[in-house]
Amino acid sequence: MDRSMEFQDIFPLKFKYSFEDYRSLMRCILMKSLYDSDVKSSSRYQGMYKGNYFNECWSIKFGFYSGIYGIVLREVKDSAGVFELYYFPSANDELLGSVSLFEAVLAGESDFLTKVRNFSAHEELLNNFCVATIYLKPQEQGMALSFKTKLRDRLYAKDGVRIEGKQIIAKEGLDKNFPCFRVSLAFMNFLHIALCKIYEPRYESFEIYKKAARAVIYDKDRNLKSKEDPLCGEIFVNLIYGEDADDGRIKFNDKSFKKLSGSAALSKFLLRLAKEDKKQIFMQGGERPNFFIITGYLGSGKTKFIQNFIEHETAQNRFTGIIQNEIGKIGLDGALLDAKYALVEIDEGCVCCSMAGQIKLAISQLKPKKPDSIVLETTGVANPFNILSELNEIKDAVNLCAIVTVVDGANFLKERGRSKIMLEQIKAADVIVLNKIDLISPEQKERIRQALIQN
C-alpha cells in the first residue's frame, strides 16, 4: 500500500499517552487527512470543523448521510484515548425519525447546527446523539484501534407519550430506534483509511465481539429500567496496524462478549469493508496551481514573508497569484505581483464559512493568468481552523499544499498567554516560520522553539 504519512510526520514529539497527546493525535490525523485526496474521496469526506477551544471537538460531514458527525476525547484509560462519536441529524435527514422525541426536539431548534459546531460545550448534546466509542492507542511501530457500538439504540416509553391530547407514542412503544452500527461505519471507514496511510493493517489480527444488550424503558415519572431486546446487540471491533501494536490491543473485562469466528456474517462484512480496494483515478496535479494559506498573528510579518515568497518564485520563472484577506501595513508591490487582488471580507475578524465561495471565485479570476502558486493571506485575527472544512470546495481547482504560520519571535513569549487565536494558528500549521530572530537571543529562540513544538 502506498503510504503518504508516517507517525512522526503527524506527531513529531514523543508520545506520552497524556490527555493532550491523544487530543493532538486525533487533531493531526483529521487535519492531515484533509489534504489527502485518496482519504477524502474514498471516505466521501465533505467537510470538517474544529470547535470549542476549551474542550476541543470536531464536526465532520460525509456523503453517506445528510447529518453531521462529531468526535471528542472523553478520557484516557489504561493508556488508551477514549473518544466519543456522535451523529447529529439535519432537518431533512431520513434518520431524524429514528432519534428519540427529546433529541428530535433538540434537532428542531433554530440554533441546533450552531450548537453542533461546538457540541462539547453543550451538555444536552453531549448526553445525547452518541453512536459509538472509539479507543485509540499508538505503540512504537503500530496502532491499536477499537470501536464499540450498538446494532441499534432502542428506547421505549412504558406509559406512552401524549402531546396536546394526541398520542405521539403508544404505551410500550418505541421512542428511539437508531441504527448506531450502520451510521458509525462511515467514520470507521474514514479512520481506517487514514490509519492505513501511516501503517500497514494486520488483517490477521482483526477481531470482532458481540453480546446481547438490553433496551431502556422509561415511565411517566422518568424512572429508567431495562428490557430484553434482541436488536440491541453490542459490537466491539479490534483492529491492529503496524508491527508491534499487539501489546496495545484494547482489552475489556466484560465476559458476556463472545468472539465471533471469521466465518460469521458480521465478521465477513467488516473484513470485506476493511480490505476493500480503495484505489481511485485522480486528476494529476501538474496543471493545478499549488495553494498555500499564510496565517500569523497581527504584526508577525506575513506580508513581508509573502513578498519574499513572490521574489523567490519570480527568480524561478514561476508566477504567483495572491488572495488577500487583509491589506497589510506593508503593501505588496503591484508591479512585482502583476495580478489582481482578490479582497475577501471577514466577519468580526474571523474567517467565516462563506469565505470558501469567495476564495473559489478569486481562484477563477486568477486562473486565466495561469499561476504556478496561489497564496491566501488571512487576517491576523483569523482562526485557520474555521476555513479547513470549506477547502473541499476548491480541492479540484488547486493542489492544497500547506498552512504556513508566521510567528513573531520578538513578541511570542509575552503574547502567547494572551491570545487564543495565536495558539490556534500555530496548532493549525503544517509549517511554522519563526520571524524576527535577529531581535532575540539564542536562549530565547530555543525557548520559543520548545514552546512551539509542545503547542
Alpha helices in 84-208 (DSSP H): 101-107, 112-116, 123-126, 180-196
User: Cell for 148?
Assistant: 464499540
Q: Torsions phi, psi of 45, nearest 5? A: -60, 140
Chain-centroid distance of CA 453 in Å reads 21
Whole-number Å distance between alpha carbons of 121 and 23: 16
Tens-place pLDDT, residues 200-240:
888 777 888 888 889 999 998 889 999 888 888 899 988 88
Percent of the chain topping pLDDT 70: 82
pLDDT at 348 over 90: no
- The reply to whether the predicted model has a pTM over 0.75 is no
pLDDT band, residue 148 (cuts 50/70/90): very high
Give the model confidence (pLDDT) of 116-145 as tens digits: 999 999 999 999 999 999 999 888 788 889
Characterize the bridge pairing of strands 57-62 and 45-51: antiparallel
Residue 96: predicted pLDDT: 93
Lateral strand order in the sheet of 258-259: 45-51, 57-62, 68-77, 80-88, 130-138, 142-150, 234-242, 207-211, 258-259
Q: 268: helix, coil or strand?
A: helix
Tell the CATH topology of 286-454: Rossmann fold (3.40.50)
Structure letter (DSSP) for residue 300 = S
pLDDT of 313-339, one tens digit each? 777 667 788 887 654 444 554 444 444
The pLDDT of residue 275: 60
Taking Cα atoms as reference points, which of 122, 18, 138 lies closest to residue 75?
Answer: 18
- Domain map of the chain by residue range? 7-275, 286-454
